[in-house]
Structure formats: structure tokens, C-alpha cells
């Protein structure tokens, strides 16, 4: 029996919205974070790391330079990895009402990911490209490698 053309154009059971395949709700608490919230959280974290780097290097954020840029990146990496490992999210995540959850066996667990996944995730975010290549569930390559997903709190 052939399927009707209308059935082929609608959403499948497997993918009705981001997070459906993982058993997450379509919206509200526990749903997959929107791009807007994720980008805002990243900007907040980047600015916080920049302010700390400015204090340590004695140079303003807008001055740049090799020593400042390296210090800024190192601080961003360290703060992101440690806070995600211990608390399940960064300061930017908290401000934007997000958290990083663990994905195991196609199920989402709301425990902090731990140090190794958080280090992998933070390193890949610094490389930029893995963070902008993503799947249907809005999981970037950094999330896929770390087996995590960013959800609303």
C-alpha cells in the first residue's frame, strides 16, 4: 500500500521538534534551548572572560594583542570547563536560564557532565566550527562529542 503525498510532507514521529527523539518536551523547562538564548549565554561568558583577562593583563578588552587574546581564550576555556563540569552550566547559562545535560542511551539526564566531557566541549567551542555545525536536536559537534545537550532550566 503506497503512502499518501500528504503523509510524506508532514513531520514524522521521529522528528516533530528539536529534542523529540530524546524524549524532551517541545517547550518550557527541559526543552532544547533556543539559538537566541545559547548565543546570549556565549556572549555573556565571553565578556566575563574578557573582563578577567583585562584585569590580569592590564589591557582593556578592546586593545587586543597576542597576550590578551591568549589569556582571554585560556580563561574562557577554564571557566567554561570547570563550571560546566561542576554545576552543569556557566554563568551565561545561569543568566539565560539554561543548563548542560548529559545524553546517555538516547535519554537526557540532568546531572552535570563531569570534567572530561566538559573539557572536550569547551575546547571544541573555542574552535568555533564544531559549535556551528549541528543536528536536528540543536546539538553542535561539541555537544555530540561530549554527549551533552543544552536545555532550558
Residues 6 or more apart whose CB falls under 8 angstroms from that of 26 comprise 16, 17, 19, 20
Residue 11: predicted pLDDT: 58
Q: Which domain holds residue 58?
A: 25-152
Residue 7 lies in a domain: no
Residue 97 lies in a domain: yes
> pLDDT tens digits for 55-98?
999 888 888 778 889 999 999 999 999 999 999 999 999 999 99
Residue 38 lies in a domain: yes
Residue 65: predicted pLDDT: 76
Residue 1 lies in a domain: no
> pLDDT tens digits for 19-63?
999 999 999 999 999 999 999 999 999 999 999 999 999 888 888
Q: Give the predicted TM-score (pTM) of the model.
A: 0.86
First-to-last alpha carbon distance for the chain, in angstroms, is 45
Residue 57 lies in a domain: yes
Residue 18 lies in a domain: no
Residue 72 lies in a domain: yes
How many CA atoms, within 13 angstroms, populate the side-chain half-sphere of residue 45? 29
Give the chain's domain count: 1
To the nearest 10°, the Cα dihedral for 13, 15, 18, 23?
40
Residue 108 lies in a domain: yes
Residue 8: predicted pLDDT: 54
Amino acid at each position: 500500500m503506497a503512502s499518501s503525498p500528504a503523509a510524506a510532507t508532514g513531520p514524522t514521529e521521529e522528528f516533530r521538534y528539536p529534542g523529540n527523539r530524546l524524549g524532551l518536551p517541545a517547550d518550557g523547562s527541559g526543552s532544547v534551548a533556543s539559538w537566541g538564548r545559547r548565543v546570549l549565554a556565549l556572549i555573556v561568558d565571553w565578556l566575563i572572560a574578557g573582563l578577567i583577562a583585562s584585569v590580569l593583563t592590564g589591557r582593556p578588552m578592546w586593545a587586543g594583542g597576542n597576550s590578551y587574546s591568549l589569556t582571554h581564550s585560556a580563561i574562557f576555556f577554564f571557566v567554561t570547563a570547570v563550571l560546566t563540569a561542576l554545576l552543569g552550566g556557566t554563568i551565561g547559562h545561569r543568566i539565560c536560564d539554561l543548563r548542560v545535560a548529559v545524553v546517555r542511551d538516547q535519554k537526557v539526564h540532568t546531572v552535570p557532565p563531569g570534567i572530561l566531557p566538559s573539557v572536550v566541549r569547551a575546547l571544541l567551542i573555542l574552535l568555533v566550527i564544531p559549535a556551528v555545525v549541528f543536528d536536528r536536536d540543536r546539538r553542535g559537534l561539541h555537544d555530540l562529542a561530549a554527549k551533552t545537550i543544552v536545555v532550558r532550566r
